[in-house]
Amino acid sequence: MSKANTAVNNNHVQSSDGTRWSPEERPCPGCGSNAIRNFGSRGGEAHRHGKGIKTTIVQCLHCEVIYTKPTLIPLDNPYDTHSAEEYFQMHDSQIKTSAGEDLAAFAEEVLGTKGKMLEIGCGRGELLLGALNRGWSVYGIEMTEEFAEVARSKGIDIEQSSVEQSKSLHHQTYDVILLAAILEHLYDPISILNKVHAALRPGGLVFIDVPNERSLTMRMGNCYMRLRGTDWTVNLSPTFSPFHVVGFSPQSLAAVLNSTGFRVLHIGTERWNNSLPEGKGLINRVERLGLYAIQKVGSILNMADGIRCWAVRE
């Protein structure tokens, strides 16, 4: 066990930020299969800065969803160890609010009207603020207290709850539900998509954006790790920020949506401005330039770092 981890008891481990984790053997969260291929190790001693706890990243051979084995389930809320400013330090609030306006405008075009919009895991509420600016009735679900308070300060109706325990998904019906940068954080995405399906009116829309775990960046990153002689992988971040626990490609995301009663209207990849931390030395400069080139080529080949998807409830 690396210095970043300490044993709590025979079943639990604790990361250096104080979060306790319980390892569980689980089947694929996308289809329930146990047929897998190994991508490599992630976290703890399998991370250049020792972040999190070491676990194994695998891919389902049936639906191609990527997940961890064993799955490390938090016994505490790991997001509580990060302030809103720290967790969202790479997010520009004005850009996100503008993006919320664009999402609302697209939904209006498809539906022919404004309506009720719910965002699950709404963070600071910028996307909902954009929709509110266009005259939508907006609601949010956010688990972390500090994030929820920031969203409320914008005049948004927020339920502070985990998505699994939320009442908003059971007692109201919506025209649009946003899963923006949230599905990759959920240990049981199928269950949540079923709840989203039930909470949408027939013909209602769901918007999803997630990292593309089969992007050119991820593929080349894993090749680079092998060239360095390690079994590390760059996929997911299950026990350190931003806590991505399940991964998709455009194909696997479409398959999961189809299996839960949605029809995909649009799905594609988009370039994200991801970068490596600034550092000294030739290796750091080469890595940063290499990443920039890979991301540019990936966007040309439709293998960019992000996935954007709109689907309709059948």
Confidence of residue 5 (pLDDT cuts 50, 70, 90): very low
What is the average pLDDT score of the chain? 90
Q: Say what the pLDDT of residue 8 is.
A: 40
Contact (Cβ atoms closer than 8 angstroms) between residue 211 and residue 304: no
Q: What is the pLDDT of residues 243-282, one digit of tens each?
A: 999 999 999 999 999 999 999 999 999 988 766 566 667 7
Q: Say what the pLDDT of residue 85 is.
A: 65
What mean pLDDT do residues 108-131 have? 96
Q: Say what the pLDDT of residue 6 is.
A: 40
* Residue type at 250 in one-letter notation: P
Domains in the chain (CATH in brackets) are 5-77 (no CATH), 84-210+248-269+307-313 (3.40.50.150)
Backbone angles phi and psi of 225, in degrees to 5: -65, -40
Question: Which of 238, 245, 247, 246 has the alpha carbon at shortest distance from 19?
Answer: 238
DSSP 217: H
Q: What is the pLDDT of residues 43-53, one digit of tens each?
A: 999 998 899 99
**d(C-alpha 55, C-alpha 239), whole Å:** 9
Structure tokens at 294: 């890979």
What mean pLDDT do residues 166-194 have? 94
Q: Say what the pLDDT of residue 226 is.
A: 96
Confidence of residue 79 (pLDDT cuts 50, 70, 90): confident
Higher confidence at residue 155 or residue 290? 155
Structure tokens at 190: 């199928």
Q: What is the pLDDT of residues 282-308, one digit of tens each?
A: 777 788 788 889 999 999 999 999 999
Is the model's pLDDT at 63 over the cut of 90?
yes
Q: Say what the pLDDT of residue 3 is.
A: 36
**d(C-alpha 32, C-alpha 131), whole Å:** 36
DSSP 108-149: HHHHSS--EEEEET-TT-HHHHHHHHTT-EEEEEESSHHHHH
Least confident of 139-148, 204-213, 269-278, 283-292: 269-278
Is the model's pLDDT at 35 over the cut of 50?
yes
Question: Which of 218, 183, 222 has the alpha carbon at shortest distance from 46?
Answer: 222
Query: Strands, DSSP E only, in 122-261?
Result: 137-142, 157-160, 174-180, 200-211
- The pTM (predicted TM-score) of the whole model is 0.88
* Residue type at 136 in one-letter notation: W
Confidence of residue 12 (pLDDT cuts 50, 70, 90): confident
Least confident of 64-68, 158-162, 201-205, 275-279: 275-279
Is the model's pLDDT at 112 over the cut of 90?
yes
Q: Say what the pLDDT of residue 7 is.
A: 41
**d(C-alpha 279, C-alpha 49), whole Å:** 13
Terminal CA-to-CA distance of the chain, rounded, Å?
Answer: 48
Higher confidence at residue 34 or residue 87? 34
What mean pLDDT do residues 145-151 have? 91
DSSP 8-52: -SSS-EEETTS-EEEEE----TTT----EEEEEEEBTTBSTT--S
Q: Give the rounded percent of residues in the chain with a pLDDT score beyond 90.
A: 74
Confidence of residue 115 (pLDDT cuts 50, 70, 90): very high
